[in-house]
Each structure stands twice: as structure tokens, then as C-alpha cells.
Amino acid sequence: MTTVALIGVDGAGKTTIANKVLEMFPLPVKYIYMGLNIESSNYKLPTSRLILYLKLRAIRKKAAQTGNTDPTFLTTHHVAHRKQKRGNIGTIFRTFNRFAEAWYRLIIAWFLQVRGYLVLYDRYFLFDMAPNVGQEAAQPLAEKAFYWTLTHFYPEPDIIIFLEAAPEVLFSRKQEVPVEYLARKTAAILEQGKKMKNFVCVDAAQPIEQVYADVTGHIMQFHTSRDVQKAFDAE
């Protein structure tokens, strides 16, 4: 079966499109979150569950101390928690756990493909770890090592679909991070996409039904062409 990575920055509509694919796509589909945020993942290692528990406990403690009653603050998704300083031991542990998580979820994907499912990836580690354009040298050493390993040893999805829209459009939908951040992440994704096979862009500024039609059209076109190629090779 086929693996499809759905890529996009905040506000692109990845979750909405992924849910529609799960509900409406004619082929059997299984969903795997393939990004860095542990709280979002539907498959977690025991070590990741422990990390998440400790993070959420620290967040709740901080909220109680500061009197913060904003419910969105009590999740690891909040922008205030995106950059945290860690010591050397914490950085090393986090990096090794990310390696383990990346391969754990990939093994699950292989198992699901054997069972006949099309596997839909929400995000992909390679794109989450891609450095900002022109800022490669500033990337922390641990992140450089993780990114290098991914680029050399981690397999690509069969097809990568980037939900692309102007940063201003994305910001109008989800005003959690600055327009400048969205622009940098968009540029990093496009730069990474140039290095990979079967990377396609879909205009995420369109009405959601048209975005869904474009996404599923690319999936079916790839899936069908690969089946035709397999039949041709078997002759």
C-alpha cells in the first residue's frame, strides 16, 4: 500500500483534511502522527509518555503559580512552551528518544501497510527538523545530528503533499505564531521538498472541499500509476 505525508504549517488545515480522508477516502486508511509533538501523537513509546506526563505536570504547576487560567496554556501546543532550555543530559535524552520514536512509528506504518492499509502521515520528521533557509549553521548540534540521520537513513513517504498558502492567510486562520515564523517554516518545507521525490503542492487557500479533492486526486493518481507499473513489471 501507499504512504502519504500531509505537510503544512500552522493554519494550513492538515487536521481537517486528514479527518476527511479518514472518513471519505475509498481505500482503507490508517492515520499516524509523524511530528515532534508527543501530545499530538497517536502512538507513543513508554519513555515519551513519561516525558509528556512530566511536561504537563510542570505546565500545570507554572499555571498555578502565575494564576494563568487559560486552558490552551495547559497543553504542550501553546506557543509559550515551544522553546525550552535544557541541560546536556536532557538534550541527549530527548534526541535519542526522538530517534526511537521516529523508527517506532515507521515500524507501525510498515505493519499497517502489510495489512493492506494506505497510511496517512500527519507531518513528517524530515520536514519538522528541516532548518530554516540560510540558518543551517545556527541549528543546534543535536538537531543537526538528528536531521542528518533522517536525510541519510530514514525512508521517504511514497508521496508528500504540502498544503501551501500565503503566511498572511495562515495567520488569519490560526493566530498563534507570527507571520514571519510561518514564512520561515514555509520556505524550509519548500527547500526540503526540492530534495525529495513525489513532492507536490496543493493550494490550501481554496475552499476546503476543493483542497480535499486536490489532495485525494494526487493520492489516487500516484496509487493507480504505481499499480499499473507493478502490473507492467510483472508481465
DSSP-assigned states of every residue in 24-63: H-SS-EEEEE-SS-GGG-SS--HHHHHHHHHHHHHHHHHH
Residue 86's pLDDT band (cuts 50, 70, 90):
low
* pLDDT at residue 230 greater than cutoff 70: no
Residue carrying the nine cell digits 511536561? 55
Number of domains in the chain: 1
Residue 217's pLDDT band (cuts 50, 70, 90):
very high
pLDDT tens-digit map of 147-169: 999 999 999 999 999 999 999 99
179 compared with 90, residue with greater pLDDT? 179
Mean pLDDT is lowest, of 17-21, 64-68, 123-127, for: 64-68
- DSSP 3-state assignment of 214? helix
pLDDT tens-digit map of 187-206: 999 999 999 999 999 999 99
Residue carrying the nine cell digits 530554516? 132
B/e letters for 114-132, b = 16+ CB within 10 Å, e = fewer, are: eeebbbbbbbbbbbbbbbe
* pLDDT at residue 234 greater than cutoff 60: no
Mean pLDDT of the chain: 90
Q: What pTM does this model have?
A: 0.88
Kindly calculate the radius of gyration of the chain based on its CA atoms and give it in whole angstroms.
19
Question: Residue 124 is part of a domain; what is its CATH number?
Answer: 3.40.50.300
Residue 49 is part of which domain span? 3-234
pLDDT tens-digit map of 98-152: 999 999 999 999 999 999 999 999 999 999 999 988 777 778 888 999 999 999 9
By the 8 A CB rule, do 201 and 164 touch?
A: yes
Distance of alpha carbon 118 from alpha carbon 131, whole angstroms: 29
Nearest C-alpha neighbor of 163 from the set 4, 8, 34: 8
Strands 3-7 and 29-33: unpaired
Residue 142: Cβ-neighbour burial (10 angstroms; 0-12, 13-18, 19+): middle
DSSP-assigned states of every residue in 174-191: -TTS-HHHHHHHHHHHHH
92 compared with 21, residue with greater pLDDT? 21
